[in-house]
């Protein structure tokens, strides 16, 4: 960043709409500024405001659009017995994914997650129009999945998007799809019962499944997909968390220094962590709503983990401005 003023000094403020970075520099000398708490692989619009030492503000604020580099975190590793799993795309299991099919202007590629050299992989899907969709072909012939109870998917949208997910069976294809609630900038653990997919389209034949499908991603958006599998029993992951279904996720927001958390089912405990995974606060509660005093924490992004009285967990990301 380079700015000039006849006083010989320049003060600046850089905001992405959530966090603000301030500092000062010397007139006419370029300065490098580090902006913290940004999400990898995300486009930001930064507004730069300049003032002189007496507080006079530059007539025009500058805007800069930039996309962060890096890789996203890895999705939690499933910890299900192989005997209860039919894997489509998931590192821990032998999987049957035959082919990724781009429908209506999508690109699909496998990328590392966690670190740039990680063996943990996910599929990155990028759309170029509003009707973009893609499918994961299980086999060239119909597969009987009627003995499985549920379909699991981990989905990470870089920006807010609405996507339908489901199955394609029979020939010609019969589509059964639902719309899970997805939160941008984090992995969303989605569990669908095959019964609810059958209810979405009674013509779905679970004895003749060809594809796991993703429809209508939106225009110019990217999502990551991992751990696509059919299973029986209760979904569990290697860190001991048992995610709730998409219809039972918590909601949270900050209000006057307090974190307000609500849940469709009763919660027993709430933990707040920073983006490094360090515990900030834990509070025991036996209710479907809670209020945590977070007036002392620094501005930034955090994660709230709610444990339900039935032993399941739900996680959400929030910002403290």
Residue 273 has what pLDDT? Answer: 80
Q: Based on the domain organization, do 52 and 19 belong to the same domain?
A: yes
* Residue whose pair of structure tokens reads 């669908």 in the numeric block: 192
> Which of 63-67, 209-213, 266-270, 277-281 is predicted with the least confidence, judged by mean pLDDT?
277-281
Cα torsion 159, 160, 162, 166 to 10°: value is: 50
Q: Based on the domain organization, do 44 and 94 belong to the same domain?
A: no
Neighbour-count burial of 209, counting CB atoms closer than 10 A to its CB (0-12 exposed, 13-18 middle, 19+ buried): buried
Q: Based on the domain organization, do 227 and 256 belong to the same domain?
A: no
Neighbour-count burial of 198, counting CB atoms closer than 10 A to its CB (0-12 exposed, 13-18 middle, 19+ buried): middle
- The separation between the first and the last C-alpha atoms of the chain, rounded to the nearest angstrom, is 25
Question: Is residue 236 assigned to a domain?
Answer: no
Check: CB of residue 175 under 8 Å from CB of residue 197: no
Looking at per-residue confidence, does 102 or 208 come out higher?
208
Q: Based on the domain organization, do 86 and 227 belong to the same domain?
A: yes
Does residue 183 register a pLDDT over 80? yes
Residue 277 has what pLDDT? Answer: 59
Residue 226: which domain range? 82-231
Looking at per-residue confidence, does 4 or 81 come out higher?
81
* Residue whose pair of structure tokens reads 């050299």 in the numeric block: 117
Q: Based on the domain organization, do 144 and 197 belong to the same domain?
A: yes
Residue 37 has what pLDDT? Answer: 66
Question: Is residue 21 assigned to a domain?
Answer: yes
Q: Based on the domain organization, do 226 and 87 belong to the same domain?
A: yes
Residue 221 and residue 97: Cα distance in Å, rounded?
Answer: 24
pTM for the structure as a whole: 0.61
Residue 20 has what pLDDT? Answer: 86
Q: Based on the domain organization, do 63 and 86 belong to the same domain?
A: no
Q: Based on the domain organization, do 148 and 190 belong to the same domain?
A: yes
For the chain, how are helix, strand and coil distributed in percent, rounded to 5?
5, 50, 45
* Beta-carbon-side half-sphere exposure of residue 195 (alpha carbons within 13 Å): 2
Q: Based on the domain organization, do 105 and 146 belong to the same domain?
A: yes
* b/e burial code for range 223-239 (CB count within 10 A of at least 16 → b): bbbbbbbbbeeebbbee
Mean pLDDT for 279-297 is 89
* φ and ψ at residue 176, rounded to 5 degrees: -125, 120
195-209 pLDDT, tens digit per residue, is: 999 999 999 999 999
Question: How many domains is the chain built from?
Answer: 3
Domain final residue pick, 169, 197, 231: 231
Question: Is residue 240 assigned to a domain?
Answer: no
Instruction: Write the CATH number for 196.
Output: 2.60.120.430
Q: Based on the domain organization, do 134 and 166 belong to the same domain?
A: yes
Q: Based on the domain organization, do 203 and 266 belong to the same domain?
A: no
Looking at per-residue confidence, does 183 or 148 come out higher?
148
74-96 pLDDT, tens digit per residue, is: 888 888 888 899 999 998 888 98
Could you tell me which of 9, 44, 46, 48 has the C-alpha nearest to residue 29?
A: 9
Looking at per-residue confidence, does 193 or 40 come out higher?
193
208-263 pLDDT, tens digit per residue, is: 999 999 998 888 888 999 999 999 988 877 654 445 555 567 889 999 999 999 98
124-168 pLDDT, tens digit per residue, is: 998 888 888 999 999 888 999 999 999 999 999 988 788 999 999
Residue 242 has what pLDDT? Answer: 47
Question: Is residue 99 assigned to a domain?
Answer: yes
20-46 pLDDT, tens digit per residue, is: 888 887 877 877 788 776 666 676 788
Q: Based on the domain organization, do 102 and 225 belong to the same domain?
A: yes
Residue 3 has what pLDDT? Answer: 65
Question: Is residue 4 assigned to a domain?
Answer: no
Mean pLDDT for 66-75 is 79
């Amino acid at each position: 960043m380079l700015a000039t003023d006849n006083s010989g000094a320049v003060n600046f403020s850089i905001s992405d709409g959530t966090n603000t970075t301030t500092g000062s520099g010397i007139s006419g000398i370029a300065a490098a500024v580090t902006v913290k708490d940004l999400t990898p692989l995300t486009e930001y619009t930064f507004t730069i405001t300049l003032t002189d030492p007496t507080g006079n503000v530059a007539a025009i604020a500058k805007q800069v659009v930039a996309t962060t580099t890096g890789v996203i975190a890895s999705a939690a590793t499933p910890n299900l017995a192989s005997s209860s799993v039919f894997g489509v795309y998931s590192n821990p299991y032998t999987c049957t994914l035959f082919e990724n099919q781009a429908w209506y202007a999508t690109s699909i590629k496998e990328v590392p997650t966690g670190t740039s050299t990680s063996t943990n992989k996910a599929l990155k899907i990028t759309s170029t129009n509003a009707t973009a969709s893609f499918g994961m072909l299980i086999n060239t012939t119909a597969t009987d999945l009627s003995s499985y109870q549920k379909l699991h998917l981990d989905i990470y949208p870089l920006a807010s998007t609405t996507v339908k997910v489901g199955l394609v069976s029979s020939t010609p294809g019969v589509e059964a799809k639902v719309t899970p609630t997805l939160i941008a900038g984090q992995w969303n653990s989605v569990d669908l019962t095959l019964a609810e997919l059958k209810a979405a389209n009674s013509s779905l034949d679970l004895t003749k499944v060809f594809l796991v499908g993703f429809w209508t991603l939106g225009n110019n958006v990217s999502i990551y997909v991992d751990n696509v599998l059919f299973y029986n029993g209760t979904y569990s992951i290697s860190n001991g968390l048992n995610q709730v279904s998409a219809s039972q996720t918590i909601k949270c927001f900050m209000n006057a220094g307090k974190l307000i958390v609500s849940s469709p089912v009763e919660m027993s405990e709430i933990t707040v962590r920073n983006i490094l995974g360090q515990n900030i606060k834990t509070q025991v509660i036996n209710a479907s709503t809670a209020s945590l005093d977070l007036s002392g924490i620094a501005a930034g992004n955090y994660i709230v983990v709610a444990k339900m009285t039935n032993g399941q967990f739900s996680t959400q990301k929030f910002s403290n401005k």
